[in-house]
Amino acid sequence: KAGVTQTPRYLIKTRGQQVTLSCSPISGHRSVSWYQQTPGQGLQFLFEYFSETQRNKGNFPGRFSGRQFSNSRSEMNVSTLELGDSALYLCASSPSPQGSYEQYFGPGTRLTVT
């Protein structure tokens, strides 16, 4: 089975722009979660989607948004980029939203904001 894929792997954007990151979960997995990883704040939960519905949301400003499609693929969008948004964005998929199932992480998208 193919693992979680994230595209693009690397991205450079300018302050004020917006960006869309994509995540394709493992086949059959319907839950997708997003995390931001920075040296200063570590790994922080952004949001979780299951069956196209946002189930959980972390403590991030409204500039961070996401969605999930009927095939379980997910995108996250960051508008009006700030320098502090530079981070590794990780996506994880799971067959269930129950929390007791293993989550599989993708390799991440490295976003650099200049």
State how far Cα 2 lies from the chain centre.
18
Tokens of 61: 């400003």
Please, which residue, 34 or 85, has the CB nearer to other proteins?
34
Paired with 22 in beta bridges are: 7, 75
Q: What is the smallest separation between the CB atom of 103 and other proteins, expressed in angstroms?
A: 6
List residues binding other proteins (CB under 8 A): 4, 31, 33, 35, 42-45, 48, 50, 55-56, 58, 90, 92, 94, 97-108
Q: What is the smallest separation between the CB atom of 99 and other proteins, expressed in angstroms?
A: 5
Please, which residue, 10 or 14, has the CB nearer to other proteins?
10
Q: What is the smallest separation between the CB atom of 84 and other proteins, expressed in angstroms?
A: 18
Please, which residue, 14 or 102, has the CB nearer to other proteins?
102
Secondary structure (DSSP) of 10-65: EEEE-TT--EEEEEEPPTT--EEEEEEEETTTEEEEEEEEETTEEEEE-S--TTEE
